[in-house]
Structure 1
Amino acid sequence: MRIAAVVVAYDRRDLLVEALDALAAQTRRLDAVVVVDNASHDDSAVVAAEHPVGAEVLELPRNTGGAGGFAVGMAHAVEALDADLVWLMDDDTIPTPTALAELLAAREAYPGPVALLGSRVVWHDGRDHPMNTPRRRPGASAEQIARARESGALPVRSSSFVSMLVDARAVRHHGLPVADYFIWNDDFEYSARLLRRGTGLHVPASVVEHRTKKFGATDADPGERFYYEVRNKLWMLLRSPSLSPEERFLYLGASLRRWARTFRGSRNRDVLRSAGLRGARDGLLRGPRRNAAVLADMGPLTAEVDALDAGRSRRGPAA
């Protein structure tokens, strides 16, 4: 079993060093580490290349956001490095030493194929991080819940890129994250796409720290970034195969309630209103571009992305 970690980095070199330190300290040694540097203005790429973990650094010519970074990194891990499992995280994700081993133990114990597994995500003070706390899969049967519990896990419908272990067979079958999302909802769309008919597990024994500056959920005031929340959520609800018709209706209602809470709690509602209206316009009038178009200037990395999204992976799609 060949496992590659993919870390997307942007302008947080000190946190990146801590993340790489944590990867080097895993009790289950990684077979490869890929750092995707999103055209950082600091020396993130240099410190990653010089780190003892031996990371391969992919320096992108421009910032492609988390969505583009993970698409490039996953494609490279699967196509070029022949990874069987890809462990995804941002540069502010600090895994505890047994985080990977616990994910693998749950995967091994579960009686059936697992598309992805996610860790328990805590803030630096040990509290569960509200930004990355999953809920049990709606409609999960008693048998599904029991099987997951026997594996030390919980069945889920979606997961976060803050420690997501993905089976490469699922990547070949479903393709990559949508790079045009740039930020926000990219992990929701991607994990929900893999788990619409696949199995996803939340593993509480696998713990990582998400060292965000503030402790808060996704309905905190995002300012101009509210554009991406609205546009990407509409893209997901209207254009993605990740949700069933019933789920689209339920998630639309949940999104409208969350947006209302965000607006009520904002200190600058004019900014939020403008960003939200632009997001609604673009979410309704156009869809996301193909990954190969969004990432067209990445040289050989573009070819790896296109091969996976088009089902031309050199090892073929999942059986």
Structure 2
Amino acid sequence: MDVDQLAVLRELAERGSITAVAAAMHKTPSAVSQQLRTLQRQTGVPLVERVGRGVVLTDAGHALARSSVQIATAMAEAEATWDAYRGEASGTVRLTVFYSAAELLVPGLMTRLKEHPSIDLKVEDQDVSQDDFAALTADHDIVVAHRSDDVLPPERSALRVVPLLREPLDVALPLDHPLGHRASVSAADVIGEAWIGVPENYPLDRVLGAMAAHESTTARIVYRTTHLPLTEKLVAAGHGIALLPRHTSLQRAEGHFRLVPLSDLRAGRRIEALLRPDRAARRAVQIVLEALRDEARTFH
């Protein structure tokens, strides 16, 4: 079996269409179809079947696609061993990270990677619902994701998951807010306020929902945004209060708004790195991941 043909099968299992596979692998759809037909002839069993205007993998196709992951990982591990032996690590590493984590981690990460000039780090900002981060690993070597404390992640056994840090969430109050002098506040103290929130199903929204459920009510959200600096400005101007990540917002809080911990709920978000196992085996990816972990440790 040809390794490239197996890779096509794996991509079809993850992306769901020949057109998507062709775009991801920089091939034409006809070339992808030809490789699938050739692989099917070599194995002697049906690997795909037509459903409507597209194709889906058979049970045999899924089994072979899983095997292709092991083969790709073994090849990447062999290359990483050789790179380590030669003392070299080079190549492009594609990192995607949600906005506030980028602000927290990427400047220090790039400083650390100055020691590895042969690694070309490509960084992209993407923020999605917490259940959708895993899909981004199809197109990126490292995906920095987040989820709220109280939510179990979707099934991710096909990925390597690396915890980076837990960031507490505090209640952001205007400087003149009556509760601003308090060492902590409870959900009952603040849930009735106007809130600056994030899109539904984002980690901070899950925490605010838990606060509301704790008090058997609903939160009154007057504005939703993923842009934390805008949230901070709206709070500072007195247009509402918000949940903000402590490490990310602390530096900008002084003189503009107050960050007050919650007393009765454990509120936080967990920041993790998600990787395909074959990409996690690459030497250059390992170096970037370790630098990312070192930077995250500075906030523990």
TM bin, normalised by shorter chain, reads: under 0.3
Calculate the TM-score normalised by the size of structure 2. 0.27
Higher normalized contact order (CA 8 Å, seq sep 6+, divided by chain length): 2
Calculate the TM-score normalised by the size of structure 1. 0.26
Decide which structure has the larger Cα Rg and report it.
Answer: 2
